Structure 1
């Protein structure tokens, strides 16, 4: 089973018991269709909303679990407006427009379930009045807008290889006077370069990298088998190709994976780390990979670079040589609408390349 889903499902089970009974019922209803990580986000959104209701005196419940259907049913539009303002204007943890839109959408999804789908013992809707039905949630992240935000914040052209090379060699020179940092780097540089190279040559998501097992890698055919986001079939792994550039990095890492990290035979994970205070290697976590890329990115001079922007970097580069349908399949997108981001990005990339060519020829 998908390792990240197992972790998220466990956390979901721990959190949902602290929700009102009708939220638990809604989560059970959605569980066959949505991933545990998505439902975890729902739960976090509801926790925040219920805490706000109680703080504003809109519910007398002493805990989130005691929030009632009546509390939701008697909300006025001014309360929803107030909550949206709270999300966008509070001094700590102010949310971006896209985050506010998602939080409101998760609320509307639950309210819709309670008013249109769930029934009481007399076959009446659990929620008689749905205030969220009046709330218009505009689409925020259009492909063109997303592309505009990404411009200048991804790796382009030669930078893809330069970043991998920096992890393999350059970072060590930058931290040579820091014994602790240098030790950690020498221990992990082959693994770290292999992870960055794999993402920049295949476009995998970080969750897909975390879930990779040794048996999922076919070096001969430059192929991996991965659990794709949104696919709830736990028995199916999709084939994903990686480019030749990643082959040497993977081969170097695999040659030392077992001895360097004291990896037990039973550990099937591809990418291994030794947790602090422990002797045996275990599967790397998503958080560890994210932190690792940020560490190198800052020294590389690209502090805005993240794991997901490495995926964007690959996708933009890949789209320059392929059509939107091949790019969609390679990235595991549900629709070409998501892939349109790279059409907008490559338009700019190509126009800039033309300008650079003109400058060199003049």
Structure 2
């Protein structure tokens, strides 16, 4: 299985986090590592830590540290205390803006994810794991009584939310033209110097997102050997470490070729097959761009053009355009985007409300003709 930079990064962070965790969480991670990604397990363990800290702060469980947290205390945890924890989560507020102090409550989906992670731990301790006696850690599973609150939304409503956050119609084309021709004029002399240095690289990143629909992790892990100009394809590492091949628009590959022509000179980068495509110079050394660095590049240019967007929104933009250009070819959309569930691909079939309004107007025109 291919190992990505993200995989290695979260493996390390998971190891660091486990140092302060109780022994039964370490055992849980060790048993799950072959079936769950390090990123998923890292998020799960963070959820466990937050839960243990709350139990200790509320004096529901008394112990000196998380490291010495006793599993028996989870067996006797009351349903009322468990429910109170999730009420506490759902009512928590976080700052959206440091400037005006605007706050927002945690999303229901986030609370559901935290419920799922704790349900996984409790199931492991009560059903899947086995201690020296041949029995599980304990038998009573209070988390099995905690419901997951369904977020009821139609495909149309979910599609509407996507549409509000992406480039629609030909805005993606106008965006690339803006970066290529107009963005520089918004900058100070000092900013222009860095922009001109990185222009080919940054433009290639933006164009590749909009010309292939890859995820940010797939793009950051791209190596020179993964680019096939002849067949107009790139090889990527999908979720779960699976290798896949993605078609790329010819114009995006032309932009990528222009970047590769200057990459070695500007960034002192090697040209071996295993060298990363997108790089920077840090402390005098060439290093691959991180996911965060790529996200910041996308944020910077999209905010200057219209609205701050993430790489995932550029992926949504590509998917919407692909759906329109192919007449909603679901198998093709699934293959191109690496979806395993057709429901996700269906979201892009009906993302433009403009078409709905046009259809409604045509229906009205039909009614008007009939009434004459």
TM-score after normalising by structure 2: 0.88
Deviation at 1:30, TM superposition (A): 1.4
Give the distance between the partners of 2:175 and 2:73, measured in 1 at CA.
53
Match of 1:86 in 2: 88
Match of 1:98 in 2: 109
Q: Given the superposition, is the C-alpha separation of residues 16 and 99 from structure 1 closer, same or farther in structure 2, using an over 3 Å criterion?
A: same
Give the distance between the partners of 1:143 and 1:212, measured in 2 at CA.
36
Q: Bigger CA drift: 314-323 or 179-188? A: 179-188
Are the aligned partners of 1:107 and 1:132 in contact in 2 as well (CA < 8 Å)?
yes
Question: Is 1:338 the counterpart of 2:340 in the alignment?
Answer: no
Match of 1:180 in 2: 190
Match of 1:258 in 2: 264
Instruction: String of CA shifts for 1:203-241, please: whole Å, max 9, x gaps.
Output: 1000000110011001121100111113x45xxx21111
Deviation at 1:109, TM superposition (A): 0.9
Matches within 5 A, 1:84-233: 84-92=86-94, 94-140=105-151, 144=155, 145-175=157-187, 178-230=188-240, 232=241
Deviation at 1:263, TM superposition (A): 1.6
Are the aligned partners of 2:11 and 2:39 in contact in 1 as well (CA < 8 Å)?
yes
Instruction: String of CA shifts for 1:309-356, please: whole Å, max 9, x gaps.
Output: 00011011111123111101110012112222212315x353356689
Equivalent of 1:15 in 14, 17, 22: 17
Deviation at 1:115, TM superposition (A): 0.8
- Any idea what SS the aligned residue of 2:202 has? helix
Match of 2:101 in 1: none
Match of 2:285 in 1: 280
- Any idea what SS the aligned residue of 2:234 has? strand
Are the aligned partners of 2:278 and 2:288 in contact in 1 as well (CA < 8 Å)?
yes
- Any idea what SS the aligned residue of 1:281 has? strand
Are the aligned partners of 1:88 and 1:97 in contact in 2 as well (CA < 8 Å)?
yes
Q: Give the number of the structure whose alpha-carbon radius of gyration is greater.
A: 2
Are the aligned partners of 1:217 and 1:225 in contact in 2 as well (CA < 8 Å)?
yes
Match of 1:5 in 2: 7
Match of 2:100 in 1: none
Match of 1:294 in 2: 299
Question: Is 1:69 the counterpart of 2:75 in the alignment?
Answer: no
Match of 1:241 in 2: 247
- Any idea what SS the aligned residue of 1:326 has? helix
Give the distance between the partners of 2:31 and 2:223, measured in 1 at CA.
31
- Any idea what SS the aligned residue of 2:106 has? coil
Are the aligned partners of 1:143 and 1:344 in contact in 2 as well (CA < 8 Å)?
no
Give the distance between the partners of 1:164 and 1:39, measured in 2 at CA.
37
Structure 2 gap ranges (5+): 96-104, 364-372
TM-score after normalising by structure 1: 0.90
Structure 1 gap ranges (5+): none
Give the distance between the partners of 1:77 and 1:189, measured in 2 at CA.
57
Deviation at 1:117, TM superposition (A): 0.7
After TM superposition, where is structure 1 displaced by more than 3 Å over at least 4 residues in a row? 91-94, 264-267, 352-358
Deviation at 1:245, TM superposition (A): 2.3
Deviation at 1:108, TM superposition (A): 0.5
- Any idea what SS the aligned residue of 1:139 has? coil
